[in-house]
Amino acid sequence: MPEQANTLAIDHATPTIGMIPAPSATRSADIPRNACNPRDLIREALDLLRVPLGRFVEARMHREYGERWPEYALGALHSSHGLDRTRHEHLSTDLSALLTLVGRFWNIAFRRDTARFARTYLEEAREFRNGLAHGESFTLADALRAVDTVHRLLPIVGQSDRSRSGRLRADLLKQLAWRGEATRPV
């Protein structure tokens, strides 16, 4: 069967799970063309978190420290992690700094009105971000975990639109199924 852009030829006689051929029936030529590098997928997911997390951190820190919150935040970052590269004007977009601040100020600014499990998701996002920064290699399963973590964090940090993270997650599930690494959503 001829292929069209972003579509795959599927042998209709092949047993399928939903619309995805069973792993034993796939061939390497059948892997979706949009299959991406896991690091790129994790980076894309974390980028979806950057802006809403910045607003979330700024609101919680401002509530506790008022207009001087950046001074407290930068002081904690510089003294504990040597993040001298972070400046006040970049603080709300520096994902590393934001994730570090949540950990450092959890009991003071975040614990009171943030679900306890959110801290676990935020720590997991931090681990993925650090892995990217330090050249760690990732599998597609790792990428799925990172995308799912971000997908779960978005409403917690005030982002109601999760359509992009939902599409990333669905695409990853398809890719894992095509590769025989997953046959059903987790």
In angstroms, the CA 70 to CA 72 distance is: 5
Query: pLDDT tens for residues 153-164?
Result: 999 999 999 999
In angstroms, the CA 59 to CA 127 distance is: 24
Which one-letter amino acid corresponds to residue 119? R
Residues in the chain where the model's pLDDT stays below 70: 1-35, 79-89, 181-186
In terms of phi and psi (left: phi > 0; alpha: psi -120 to 50; beta: otherwise), the region of 161 is: beta
In angstroms, the CA 98 to CA 91 distance is: 7
Q: What is the pLDDT of residue 31?
A: 41
Rounded to two decimals, what is the model's pTM?
0.74
Domain layout of the chain by residue ranges: 42-178
Q: What is the pLDDT of residue 9?
A: 38
In angstroms, the CA 140 to CA 131 distance is: 14
Instruction: With CA atoms as reference, report the closest residue to 178 among 7, 37, 28.
Output: 28
* Core vs surface per residue 36-61: b (16+ CB within 10 A) or e: bebbebbbbbbebbeebbbebbbebb
Query: pLDDT tens for residues 111-149?
Result: 999 999 999 999 999 999 999 999 999 999 999 999 999
